[in-house]
Amino acid sequence: MISEHADPLARPGSKEVGGQNVYVYNLARALSKIGWEVDVFTRWDNPNKQRVIKFAQRARVIRVKSGPRHYIPRDELYKFLPDFVDDVVSFKKENNLNYDLIHTHYWMSGWCGLKISSLWDVPMVATYHSLGYVRFHTLKAFKKHSPDNDFFRKRISWEKKIAQLSDSVLSTSPYEREDITKYYGVSSHNIAVIPAGIDAKTYYPINKSVARRTIQRPADEKIVLYVGRIEWRKGIGTLISALAKVIEAKKIDTSNLKLLIVGRTVGPEKKEVKRLKQLAQHLGIAERIIYTGSKDASQLRHYYSAADVCVVPSYYEPFGIVPLEAMACGTPVIASKVGGLRYTVKNKKAGLLVPPRNPKGLSRAINNILGNEDHYIKSVSQYARDVVLKEFVWPAVAKEASNLYKKIINKRLTTK
């Protein structure tokens, strides 16, 4: 696997570390369990990290020499890609390795993958994790700031090449497949839809009062939860505006209403946190919002279980692992009706879908969940958990990925 900017062993919730890191880590582990040998090549971004680390019986991460060994914003890594390719090629040669297939993650890894797969003459499967075309048009439509046209032109043109030249695209949702066919001009036959998953041993429902004691929140609070990276496109600003509307509408008792925001608040996220704090101050609800900092998975299940509702207010979300984690803990989810969220959060059954960047619509949905009868919430929770366990767990995902890999490898062998 090539996961150029997303180290599978990096701590999620921090410095651009999120879903892709979680995805690559878990998929590699699950593939290792069913017999695949997996090497994940990722950029060496910290001098204290070791070159090679084994993280499952048959899975290793290999840090690649490519640019300075410190954090560099993702969109500035493009210039180091040729060095990345050279070092992967040298590593394979020095260690006398052979690979049957390359699975790339994100467009920059796809860029490297195209070069390497042709050098080694091995097939390549590509997963995008985010589509430049959709991201560009989301930024443009919501007029946050004008996107860097040159950068996006380059990214989109490479994403097209990756779709056209790789042996298969592994897309995480049918909606992403639709976008790839529509915007990148490839046939849907070459795109397999295999979702991301969650670890059911990590995410499961915990008794609400136990969970609240663990995270030190009072039993009588109404808790709205956000989990994830704190960046503009995640729509936390919309959530804060919606919360103010819920309080103003007085449809439910909001005397103990709190919003918990779980995710790293320092480093690159600091600027967005400052903006969100100013917004909450302006709306007069600053004391309702608690920033917990980032938490690891063993703590997160308590946050999900303690919450009355988990909100995923993204403006753009290619897949979204957070709603699955919440659903696995039996917590109702409200998510924007965008990207992969439409696929995972089945409207009205496993949660509610609302238009993106629409505080009024979101406030109505929050009122609806917080003000609803217990039996409705129970049925939503049960359905959500059932859906996750049936469709979105890593062993099932890895089995499907494994079948796809075998098909691609065999196809290459028979055409040789």
* Residue range at the interface with ligand UDP (CB under 6 A); choices 15-23, 56-64, 349-357, 366-374: 15-23
Distance CA 197, CA 325 (A): 9
| ∠ CA 55-57-63, rounded to 5° | 35
12 binds ligand UDP (CB under 6 A): yes
Smallest distance, Å, CB 185 to ligand UDP? 26
- Per CB under 6 A, 110 contacts ligand UDP: no
Q: Identify which of residues 87 and 269 has a Cβ nearer to ligand UDP in the complex.
A: 269
Please identify, using beta-carbon distances, which residue of 85 and 328 lies nearer to ligand UDP: 328
Which amino acid is it at 8?
A: P
Distance CA 114, CA 104 (A): 9
Spell out, one character per residue from 230 to 259, where the chain touches ligand UDP: x when CB under 6 A holds, - when not: ------------------------------
What amino acid occupies position 322?
Answer: V
Tell me, what DSSP letter sits at residue 13? Answer: T
Which of 113, 123, 197, 228 binds ligand UDP (CB under 6 A)? It is 228
Q: Is the dihedral of CA 23, 194, 230, 3 positive or negative?
A: positive
Question: How many residues interact with ligand UDP (rule CB under 6 A)?
Answer: 21
Mark out the alpha helices in 12-148 (DSSP H runs): 19-33, 81-94, 107-120, 132-141
Stretch that binds ligand UDP, among 70-78, 179-187, 218-226, 291-299 (CB under 6 A): 291-299
Q: What angle do CA 155, 159, 160 make, to 5 degrees?
A: 120
User: Which span sits near ligand UDP by CB under 6 A: 32-40, 72-80, 120-128, 226-234?
Assistant: 226-234
Is residue 300 close enough to count as binding ligand UDP by CB under 6 A? Answer: yes
Catalogue the E-assigned strands of 160-256.
168-171, 191-193, 222-227
Sole binder of ligand UDP in the list 88, 227, 239, 401 (CB under 6 A): 227
Q: Is 342 in the site for ligand UDP (CB under 6 A)?
A: no
Determine, following the binding rule CB under 6 A, whether residue 351 of this chain makes contact with ligand UDP. no
Candidates 85-93, 108-116, 225-233, 344-352; binding stretch for ligand UDP (CB under 6 A): 225-233
Tokens encoding 375:
């039996």
What minimum distance in Å lies between the beta carbon of 227 and ligand UDP? Answer: 5
Question: What is the spatial distance between Cα 338 and Cα 203, in angstroms, rounded to a whole number?
Answer: 24
Q: How far is the CB of 20 from ligand UDP (least distance, A)?
A: 6
Residue 125 is a binding residue for ligand UDP (CB under 6 A): no
Among 85, 124, 125, 321, binds ligand UDP (CB under 6 A): 321
Q: Smallest gap, in angstroms, from Cβ of residue 51 to ligand UDP? A: 25
- DSSP assignment of 141-155: HTTSS---HHHHHHH
For residues 219 and 329, give the distance between their C-alpha atoms in angstroms, rounded to a whole number: 18
Q: Does 13 bind ligand UDP (CB under 6 A)?
A: yes
Q: Are 365 and 354 in contact (CB under 8 A)?
A: yes
Q: Do 346 and 318 form a contact (C-beta atoms < 8 A)?
A: no
User: Is residue 21 within 8 Å of 10, Cβ to Cβ?
Assistant: yes
* Binder among 59, 262, 327, 401 for ligand UDP (CB under 6 A): 262
Helix axes 359-370, 236-249, angle to 10 degrees: 60
| Interface residue list for ligand UDP (CB under 6 A) | 12-13, 18-20, 22, 227-229, 262-263, 294-297, 300, 319-322, 325
